[in-house]
Chain A
């Protein structure tokens, strides 16, 4: 019940503040239209020559309260599906993987002081890295919003 209330208040906040249309899934995590998603629960927003990456609402909910975010320095490169950092929650360190390959051009330094932004604003203030994509066609191999929603439902039904 608390999750449903939380999800709807997050959805309301998103409707007020951003242009992407939320697509509420039956599993009560918010999934945004216009983003692409990896099966390891990261999202990517491709805008021109830069792609922004973070973890999804489903991911942050399943992690619990994030107390630490470990991010790389800008300038390094990352490959699709490989880890670029980690988050810590409930005494668990979870790797975060990049949905696409490219050069890391910017890192969200706010997460050092305010790791909870990953929970409260996973698609906006909780963004993690910005990448200059090496191969934009990699985006075609990712889920769209509807497919990702279905994927989450199937994964959650497994237990």
Chain B
């Protein structure tokens, strides 16, 4: 018998990277102690470079002193994966879910995140696939990366997640070796499709729906707005 599972979706708009990280850390603790159910954060970031647990900052091609000039921040994180860029018009999903409750390991989880982005691309006629071995992410014609993944799993609870390029400024990727892979390109939905895409909010909601379907959630509870931390550190 399949238990009916619901997912709370928080639509947060553009959120500073560190604020989103702080929120995720709090939610992971609450999810682990069963205070909350599975939550999906749907957001975008201002221009931000991030590096994973292996600290591969040698893949940042400009000196850190130049970051302010290009209008970007750099953050070191505990997620898997190499260096990447996040910015406006790139849809980000951070699932805070319990993998143990659905019997998924890291590999299956990441495969489903890839499928989520592949399905969204397909809605716009873009044929995307998972990467070859060692190249986790979503690719068009195995050459152009349209979606990236970098995840952390702690006591079976996920944080960080996926980033799908709707129409970000791709020149920012020129300042890094994206994901440590030097001989391929980065692309976006805008670049791969015809001239007219619907409103970004619609595309981001479709991404959420693809996620919910892939992970077997039977109902979604949508919440909007930016959470505020009070003195007592409760999320409002």
Contacts and interface: CB of A to CB of B under 8 A. Distances in A.
Interface in A51-93: 59, 61-65, 67-68, 70, 83, 86, 88-93
Contacts of A65: 133-134
B109 A93 contact: no
A64 B154 contact: no
B107 A64 contact: yes
Nearest to B158: A92
Contacts of A68: 53-54
Interface string A100-125: 00000000000000000000000000
B53 A86 contact: yes
A93 B103 contact: no
Interface residues on A, range: 20 to 34
Nearest to B179: A91
Given A40-B156, A86-B53, A97-B155, A91 B150 contact: yes
Contacts of A90: 80, 106-107, 110, 136, 149
Contacts of A62: 104-108
Contacts of A47: none
A93 B102 contact: no
Contacts of B137: 91
Given A67-B134, A70-B53, A156-B103, A91 B110 contact: yes
A81 B79 CA distance: 21
B151 interface: yes
Interface of B: 52-54, 78-81, 100-110, 133-134, 136-137, 149-156, 216
* 10 interchain residue pairs of minimum CB distance: A62-B105, A158-B103, A64-B107, A91-B81, A159-B103, A92-B106, A91-B136, A92-B151, A93-B80, A94-B153
